[in-house]
Structure 1
Amino acid sequence: SPDSIFQTSTVRDEFFKRFMNSVITSVGASALAIIIGSLAAYGLVRYRYKFAWFRNEDISFFFLSQLILPPVVLALPFLVLYREVALLDTRIGLVLLYTLMVLPIVIWIMRDQFNSIPVELEEAALVDGLSIWGAFFRIVMPIALPGMVAAFILAMVLCWNEYFFAALLTSTDAKTIPVMVASQTGSQGINWWSMAALATAAIAPLAIIGIALERYLIMGMTAGSVK
């Protein structure tokens, strides 16, 4: 109608804002987890550590055991901490939290990936004059790329679909897609059409990425199963 020619869709604007929040937090947390997790996994595979009675296997299991904790146990500590350091309703706050959330899975995937790479390749690179870091970045990382892609996709899916902390620690500026989808329910009932549209738009990017990188995902997830 003529009255609506110069009006903008607030729902559409809100969707794009929530969509960008999800993209930034998911990609940022996944990338940060890949960097930290790859270095941690490489250290656990190639070097021997001893902390009291902890050995490499114990440290690896400790990382994985963090997934046992239910999110509700961490709700109050993170809420108090984020309020004190002014990270409530911020993207950086979600990025840091999501990084901690997916880091154990990334470490375990990359640990299996590095275990499947013969150490003789690195020893040969060291003999040829490369440093330890040079061998890691120029020899190990290209071989471990499928595992890194698989870990990145899995981490991004977990971050993208996370709802509990996104609803707890955000209010306006940093809300993500899952929170917006859940907000379609209210006292007046459920807006099924909006919920269906938002859910489809939320699933589509992950489906496209999964199809495009399917080969790397399969290679990375099956690394270490065959010697």
Structure 2
Amino acid sequence: MASTGGLVVRSATRADLPRITAVLGRAFQDDPFMAWLVPGAGRRRRQLPRFFALNARDEHFRLGSIEVAERDSVLQGAGLHAGEGPSLGAALPDDLILRLRLAMVAGSRTSEVLKGFELLEAARPADPHWYGRFVGADPDRTGRGVGARLLRSVVNHCDAKGLPLYFEISNHDPVGRYERIGCEVHGKVVLPNGPELITFWREPR
């Protein structure tokens, strides 16, 4: 557990799940990737908490890690990380569960969305690394360093483990924010009928 300026970053428990999914749902409401995954602001408000709940429960608690940022016991942000083990697709017995999960949020666009996820998976380096999937702060808490603290916690973890860090962002995010902590642009992925994502890689220090 780390604290800076009253903001505490700690490992999440399953009891945190309702607050985590609510915060991440709000944090990613206007994200270009999520707008591609779940078109329509109203649908995203309904579906994103469910999407994050499924990912957290089925993948991140089992195979990766989840961190939360709190101030005065109020959850202000969260990070979901796939860890250094198998990718989501490889971790499942087959891709049926993944297809069903995507169908819940993508509906008739499941095939297109699945193709996008395959492109993202193909872009990941083969070398062992820590995969940062989703880091978000409650929109009501933006500008207070919540996202930066969660990202710094991941970086510290990777340095301690001697693991590179890999993640993607939507292209509207400022690249310099990540370059300042040692991340380098690794490549770009254009989703089918969707946005361009920038991928980052950071060697441990």
Q: TM-score range by the shorter chain?
A: under 0.3
Give the TM-score normalised by the residue count of structure 2.
0.28
Question: Which has the larger helix fraction?
Answer: 1
Give the TM-score normalised by the residue count of structure 1.
0.26
Higher relative contact order (CA 8 A, sep 6+): 1
Rg bigger for which structure? 1
